Structure 1
Amino acid sequence: MLEIRPKLIEAAFSGKAGESENLRHSDNFLSVHDMWMHERYRELMSHHLDSFVYASEEGEPQVIGKDNDPDLCVLVDPLDTSELAVRGLLGYTHVLVYSRALARPIVSVVGDIYHHVRLYVAARHDDGEDRAYAFTADGQCRTLAQHTSKRLSEALLTNFLMRPGERLLPLSHQERLMRALDQPDNTGKSRGRIGVDFGSVSLCHVAAGFTEGVLEFAKGFAIWDLAPGHYILHAAGGTVIDLDGNPIPLDYSLQSLADIAKAMDRRQMFIAAGSSELAEEVLRHLDLPR
């Protein structure tokens, strides 16, 4: 992030975003900065891991190193919200290391390029426990764990609502959910809120207790947008369920290159929350097509 931040700030002030055609995801913004980070991550990971499958949003899965069938899969979203990052507004970067032998993540890092809370991290410790942490720009480390559970009428719920027709309009039609958020408390104040958030960092914000939940029902998140934050929220004691109310497992079925390629083309709808009670309350107020 120290390397990319000055490049992004220069792009913002100069107005030169370095946009290029996205051949892999035609409806997504792509810049030279996305591709630079894609290559840079692959280079840096090869210094630390002998062999791994490199699965980046910006390329097809490939094996790096001498082992033809390595255990570790490194899942990367080099630059999330890149359209905003080149404007100097918001930018995130995700790395998740998945053990194919364990069929689960073992390390996840979500970086916030501009915010004082710089890194959200989860890792599987030697005792087999998953733990989550946040690191700030001044070197402070905080352990992430869920505290008191809030009801929907008290919650700040977020959604990636930036695309008007694809996401904002479907959200605006959820009248029962909006009424539940707007329900006044015993003092007559309406404390529920709906806000915008982005990709994996939105689940990290729930893990940290900054927000109470994330809702994604219109299109679904790709694996690189969901999995890193999913693992961090899991390690912090939160929950992620699908729209049938079932917990989404940490096993993303990445057993072969074909499995990984298939997983990268799949989208997952979900509700993430600090507690299963809140996730289920959100689900009860959703009007979904059957």
Structure 2
Amino acid sequence: MEAAFSGNAGESDNVRHSDNFLSVHDMWMHDRYRELMAHHIDSFVYASEEADPQVVGNERDPDLCVLVDPLDTSELAVRGLLGYTHVMIYSRSLARPIVSVVGDIYHHVRLYVAARHDDGRDYAYAYTADGGFYRLSQPARKSLPESLLTNFLMRPGERLLPLSRQERLISALDQAAEDGKRRGRIGVDFGSVSLCHIAAGFTEGVLEFAKGFAIWDLAPGHYILESAGGTVLDLAGEPISLDYNLQSLPDIARAMNRRQRFVAAGTYELAWDILSHLDLSQ
């Protein structure tokens, strides 16, 4: 908040991602998360957006990989508007996530969590600032014309213009119901928390067809949404696996440099309907 009110964002050069905003707060959280994780996990691979993957602890080849985006939407967080933080723990022996936490810094819904329980099943939850606790298991079931879809449309050239050209999708969202009301909407959302909002039933779907999300933006929320019963499809209509192939340091480094285009929704039917209305030739 001091950065927001003073106008001093603490912006730094971003060596790894030259087109992304980076602040001193991102780097402080990057170091702090590594330090705190070391108190709870003896050895792990630390894969943060802000640095190359590294082994922490005494094991040469640890099973657990801790994937971190310390501060998502940094340029908005330092303005006191919106800010999120992602942590996911991936078991390399199971080839899947086992814990994921997406934190909302400013909102009343403070944490979205998924975890693999002792029964081998995955469960998702939300926690509020006043101690409230909610099981996430019934994403909204609505048709496309009733839906609030979101997109990271803040980048004008990369994402907003391609979205504005999707005439068939916009027409479907603008379709009137029997009572004459047009309930379809397109809103802005950010990274993993956008998939968490579907898991909680706050929104119906996310589409990212232009540039794609990096692994730290997609994977934590992907696991939470699937644990709540939702669906994430690639642009060919195939379910995206929770196995992100993080088997070795080179594998992890490659995964950190890929981008995934996708459609996510509370139901397979809605995800496929969104996808069927996209003109992917543009």
TM-score, reference length from structure 1: 0.97
- Cα distance in 2 for residues equivalent to 1:289 and 1:281: 17
Once the two structures are superposed, residues 174-203 of structure 1 have per-residue CA deviations (whole angstroms, 9 ceiling, x without a partner) of 000000000000011110000000000000
Equivalent residue for 1:164? 156
Runs of 4+ in structure 1 displaced over 4 angstroms?
A: none
Equivalent residue for 1:21? 13
Identity of aligned residues (%): 79
SS of residue in 1 equivalent to 2:125? strand
- Cα distance in 1 for residues equivalent to 2:140 and 2:188: 23
Note if contact 2:147-2:185 (Cα within 8 Å) is conserved in structure 1. Answer: yes
- Cα distance in 1 for residues equivalent to 2:37 and 2:214: 22
SS of residue in 1 equivalent to 2:177? coil
SS of residue in 1 equivalent to 2:187? strand
Q: For 1:99, give the aligned amino acid.
A: S
Q: Quick one: which of 62, 74, 92 aligns to 2:84? A: 92
Q: For 2:209, give the aligned amino acid.
A: F
Equivalent residue for 1:6? none
Q: For 1:78, give the aligned amino acid.
A: P
Q: For 2:5, give the aligned amino acid.
A: F
- Cα distance in 1 for residues equivalent to 2:75 and 2:108: 21
Change (3 A) 1:77 1:148: closer
CA shift, 1:149, in A, is 1.3
Equivalent residue for 1:225? 217
Q: Quick one: which of 134, 138, 141 aligns to 1:146? A: 138
Please provide the CA RMSD for this pair.
0.7
CA shift, 1:59, in A, is 0.2
Note if contact 2:46-2:56 (Cα within 8 Å) is conserved in structure 1. Answer: yes
Q: How many residues align?
A: 282
Once the two structures are superposed, residues 110-165 of structure 1 have per-residue CA deviations (whole angstroms, 9 ceiling, x without a partner) of 00000000000000000000000000000111000125511100000000000101
Q: For 1:178, give the aligned amino acid.
A: I
Q: Quick one: which of 5, 13, 29 aligns to 1:37? A: 29
Matched, 1:174 2:180: no
SS of residue in 1 equivalent to 2:176? coil
Structure 2, unpaired ranges of 5+ = none
**Map of 1:66-81 to 2, 5 A cutoff?**
66-81=58-73
Once the two structures are superposed, residues 41-74 of structure 1 have per-residue CA deviations (whole angstroms, 9 ceiling, x without a partner) of 0000000000000000000000000000000000
Equivalent residue for 2:114? 122
TM-score, reference length from structure 2: 0.99
SS of residue in 1 equivalent to 2:55? strand
- Cα distance in 1 for residues equivalent to 2:22 and 2:70: 11
- Cα distance in 1 for residues equivalent to 2:281 and 2:17: 27
- Cα distance in 2 for residues equivalent to 1:222 and 1:147: 24
Structure 1, unpaired ranges of 5+ = 1-8
